[in-house]
Amino acid sequence: MSPERDELALAFRCAPVALALSRYRIIEVCNDAFAQLFRRDADALTGKSLAQLYPTVDAFAEVVDRWLGPLRDTGQFADERFMRRCDGEVFWCRVAGRTMTPADPLALAVWSFSELRTPVHLNAALSGRERDVAWHVARGLTSKEIAKLLGLSPRTVEGHRLRLMRKLEVANAVELKAVMEALPG
């Protein structure tokens, strides 16, 4: 490797923002900040699907539909959404990406990730489990469906929904879903 390439590799690795290069949504390489954000060793993330960083496999599948148009048209895309650390914690994140191959946007792309404060809609007082339930409510899932996905009883999910309604000051499940759907990402 040339000294210039060594310096570029070092700059990527030590950049203060979480960065990952992906090929067809598989992590080709990531930097130290990315590994710290997602609480996993960079070597353990390399070669793995970005799917492991989403709250559900469905979320991973659904988000690509929003990306493809902008990536083809402008070469870039950004939004805010829930992501999941490798230890299971769900958090709010700004994701920005740029494709190097607009004709085939997922062939090679670089992504940055920045943890954000939970939006006002979600109130910082929400527990991790409440955030998990809130995310699924936004997708329109029933308590029974959420319970199955999260390995909880439907009654437990209903308890989380009731606490969410109190914390977000909504009167019923329809208003709760509307508040959750208003979130970007």
* Residues 33-72 pLDDT 10s: 999 999 999 999 999 999 999 877 777 887 887 788 889 9
CATH of the domain at 163: 1.10.10.10
Q: Are residues 44 and 98 in the same domain?
A: yes
Pick out the chain residues at pLDDT < 70: 1, 118-126, 179-185
Same domain as 106, residue 27: yes
User: For the chain, what is the domain count?
Assistant: 2
One domain for residues 108 and 57: yes
124 with 111, same domain? no
Both 101 and 128 in a single domain?
Answer: no
pTM of the full structure: 0.68
Domain identity same for 14 and 44: yes
Same domain flag for 140 and 154:
yes
* pLDDT single digits (tens) 71-82: 999 999 988 888
Spatial separation of the C-alpha atoms in residues 35 and 107, rounded to whole Å: 22
For residue 157, give the DSSP letter. Answer: H
pLDDT at 185: 44
Any idea what the CATH number is for the domain that residue 50 is in? 3.30.450.20
Q: Do residues 108 and 48 both lie within one domain?
A: yes
| Same-domain pairing of 107 and 126 | no
My answer on whether 87 and 16 are in the same domain is yes
Same domain membership, residue 157 and residue 134? yes
Alpha-helical segments (H) within the chain:
3-14, 32-37, 42-45, 57-74, 128-138, 143-150, 154-167, 173-181
Are residues 109 and 56 part of one domain?
yes
> Which pLDDT value is given to residue 113?
97
Tell which of 85, 115, 145 closes a domain. 115
The domain in which residue 154 lies consists of 120-181
Q: What are phi and psi of 47, to 5 degrees?
A: 85, 0
